[in-house]
Chains A and B, each alone.
Chain A
Amino acid sequence: MGFIQWESIVFAVISFGILYWLLNKYAFGPLFSIMEQRRERVLGDLKKAEEDRKQAEQYLQEQKQAVQEAREEAMKIIEQARQTSARQADQIIAQAREEAARLKDEALKEIENEKNKAVAQLKSQVSAMSVMIASKIIEKQIDEKTHKELIDQYLKEVGS
């Protein structure tokens, strides 16, 4: 046979087997393992990126919440301060009013006192003077004691 030579066929099969074994051991094996490593690394990176993204989202939520809480607290403090100041102002005004009222009362009382005192003084002076005037006018017609009673009565009527 010109074309087919069984020695060549056997040689081809055997030597291809050897070649395959050599290639598998020294070239394809390492290459496949490297490609597998890369695949795993890419998968790992993707997974890690996903985790990082989730974590970042969580942090963002937490931060947002913290900001919200701080804002609420600040509002509360401002409100409290406003209430306190309003109450204090009211208190001060009430106190001042009370003080003023007290002072006014005192002054009025003093005025009354002074007035009473003056009136008493005036009464005594006027009675004495009128006795003098009357005695001068009437000249011993009436005794001093009767005269004084008369004037006192009169002044009482005037004073009431």
Chain B
Amino acid sequence: MPESPKLNIGIFYFDLSTISMFIITGVILFIIARLAVRNLSVENPSKLQNVMEWVVEFVHGMVASTMPLHIGKRFISIALALILFIFIANLLGLPFAIITKHTEEVTLFGYTLVSQETIDKWLAKDGYDHAPVLWWKSPTADLSVTLGLALVTFFLIHYNGLKLNRTHYLRHYIEPYPIFLPLNIIKEIFKPLTLGLRLFANILAGEIMIKVIIMAGIFGIPFLMAWQGFSIFIGGLQAFVFVILSMVYIAQATVHEEQ
């Protein structure tokens, strides 16, 4: 795995490639969304507005399929933001990656980005006369980002469970018997963990596969095209899976069906 540039401020180490890619994704999403709602019209929507409305309808359908709409209405916009963000993030790593080779320490405004220790570590390896540093990648190919998004889901699940459905939400921890409490807690922790890991692993695997195919040189081009096309599909699918599972988890916590 190539290194990431890390900005060291005090005790904090900020992963610059992750942060910058996250911001780029957010900016792209915001620009697209703003373009879509420029010249909003009831009568004569623009093409982009139509596309956006289709996405909204799609998310609306997803939410409606997991929970009653009077509860689900409030989650439509967060689900929309999640699915669009993850989809765009998944696609960003597909066209290219930017990797720089370094033999010396990299600093920016006096802050170390790639430390001499890291470079030494790489130089000590066989076959390396430099330390590769990855700048451009999918933000979702970073476990921290996917776990962060999963944490958002985690907050949503438990906050809304406590707010909308308190007694049944709390009671489900000791069902069917109080002795199941630790199991139930583990289950609740593993929900966001699996969400984050699934998304991260799929996207990272896609990017690694692209690197592997590139090693095949010119003969790899058809495979590369096929794989990138497939990766677009995977990117959409994983975004969908992430959001629909989030909605299912939220529905489990918030919806209580009267027997």
Chain A residues within CB distance 8 Å of chain B: 2-13, 15-17, 19-20, 22-24, 26-28, 30-32, 34-35, 37-38, 41
Contact = CB atoms under 8 A, between A and B. Distances in A.
A37 to B, nearest CB: 5
B104 interface: no
Interface in B113-160: 139, 142-145, 147-149, 151-152
B147 A20 contact: no
B53 A10 contact: no
Nearest to B12: A7
B78 A27 contact: no
B259 interface: no
Contacts of A34: 37, 40-42, 45
Interface stretch (B26-34, B180-188, B228-236): B26-34
* Residue of A10, A27, A30 with most chain B CB atoms under a 10 A cut-off: A27
Nearest to A10: B148
* Residue of A9, A26, A34 with most chain B CB atoms under a 10 A cut-off: A9
B152 A31 contact: no
Given A8-B19, A13-B152, A31-B52, 10 more contacts: A7-B144, A8-B18, A9-B144, A12-B139, A19-B85, A23-B33, A26-B34, A28-B33, A28-B81, A30-B37
A5 B15 contact: yes
A33 B85 CA distance: 22
Given A12-B22, A15-B23, A20-B81, A27 B149 contact: no
B234 to A, nearest CB: 20
B215 interface: no
A37 B43 CA distance: 10
Contacts of A11: 14, 18-19, 22, 148
17 contacts: A4-B144, A5-B144, A7-B14, A9-B145, A9-B151, A10-B148, A11-B14, A11-B22, A12-B139, A12-B148, A12-B149, A16-B149, A26-B33, A27-B30, A31-B49, A34-B37, A34-B42
A122 B169 CA distance: 149
